[in-house]
Amino acid sequence: MGLFLYSKCFFVHVVLIFGFLGVHRVYASETSLTLDYYTSTCPTVFDVVRKEMECAVTSDPRNAAIIVRLHFHDCFIQGCDGSILLDDTFTLKGEKTATTNIHSLKGFELIDKVKNIAESECPGIVSCADILTIAARDAVILVGGPYWDVPVGRKDSVTASFELANTNLPTPDESFLSIISKFLYQGLSVTDMVALSGAHTIGMARCPSFRSRIYGDFRSTSIKNPISESYLSNLKSMCPPIGGGNNNITAMDYVTPYLFDNSFYQILLNGEGLLNSDQEMYSSIFGIETRDLVKKYAADPLAFFQQFSDSMVKMGNIINSESLINGEVRKNCRFVNT
């Protein structure tokens, strides 16, 4: 049972934090998401997405992590509805400039390119939300990760939520239990949290995201050896404690930064996780269940791949119920149809 043994107070805390948000979610089993949604209306869509992702990842492997992160942020704000792709207008405040997004999200032009091709082949058929979800799957495959089937049939939202972008997304220095509560709120389990965090095996982080970690408890969690000391020294050289270096980035998996594998978890076992939020999964006193999962995925890459695939499908099935009623298929992913 692990973390679920702690107390009813924790779940009351979750309700108090998130009960007021007012975004209703339903899951794939309750909606029309299917594997064959585009079989008759746009049978080439999966090929279109795959070909464009192949070009993008071949030209720059970092594009894989960029698209996976974009999908994650989309789903955690108001469901996987493409709201993250909307630009600000006179009548709509988008999510791109939220504190949690402004310095961390890229890849919008790549999604635009895929959408334009899909529109030329199947006008008004394929949603931006589906394109992003399929692209995230293909991104993982292209850097060595697992395959999974992607249910499709999402609608694009006609709204965005700057406020939810600032409250729903986990942050690197957030408390361990608070991050767990954000996953639970989405209908995702502790197991899903640990598995989905494994995407950091191809992720990059800016200095402000790991500054408190490297000048905080990094030495107390890490194994004392020359490799670890050299790693920490390099991190400090690119990320000074005060001022400067904020735009410097480094890989969250310094062993195989462009390969989707389980070395991220092995780094956590060594106490060398770059982000506080990641290392807490192994080092936190509350991490009974998460610690065991980190050990499991560090030892068994196939178990990690299977759970990651299952958790990505589960996350991709988070639907904003309002988009089922009022949603649309945008012509341009950046703007609501007029």
The residues assigned a catalytic role are 73
261 is in an annotated binding site: yes
Compute the distance between CA of residue 58 and CA of residue 51 in angstroms, rounded to an integer: 11
Q: Do 55 and 122 touch, CB atoms closer than 8 A? A: no
Q: Which residue has the tokens 């390099």?
A: 234
Compute the distance between CA of residue 171 and CA of residue 297 in angstroms, rounded to an integer: 23
253 is in an annotated binding site: yes
The token pair at 171 is 């942050």
Q: Which residue has the tokens 């890459």?
A: 301
The token pair at 313 is 């499908």
170 is in an annotated binding site: yes
Q: Do 88 and 94 touch, CB atoms closer than 8 A? A: yes
Q: Which of 130, 251, 140 is nearest to 195 (CA)?
A: 140
Compute the distance between CA of residue 114 and CA of residue 116 in angstroms, rounded to an integer: 5
How far is CA 67 from each of CA 53, 122, 136, 153, 178, rounded to the nearest angstrom?
A: 9, 23, 6, 19, 25
Q: Which of 337, 62, 86 is nearest to 204 (CA)?
A: 62
The token pair at 262 is 């389980």
338 is in an annotated binding site: no
130 is in an annotated binding site: no
Compute the distance between CA of residue 171 and CA of residue 268 in angstroms, rounded to an integer: 18
278 is in an annotated binding site: no
Cα angle 318-324-330, degrees, rounded to a multiple of 5: 95
Quick one: which H or E segment has residue 164?
helix 162-168
SS3 string, 15-54, reads HHHHCCCCCCEECHHHCCCECCCCCCCCCCHHHHHHHHHH
Looking from the CA of 226 toward its CB, the CA atoms found within 13 Å total 0
2 is in an annotated binding site: no
Binding region for heme b: 200
Binding region for substrate: 170
Binding region: 74, 79, 81, 83, 95, 170, 200-201, 253, 256, 261
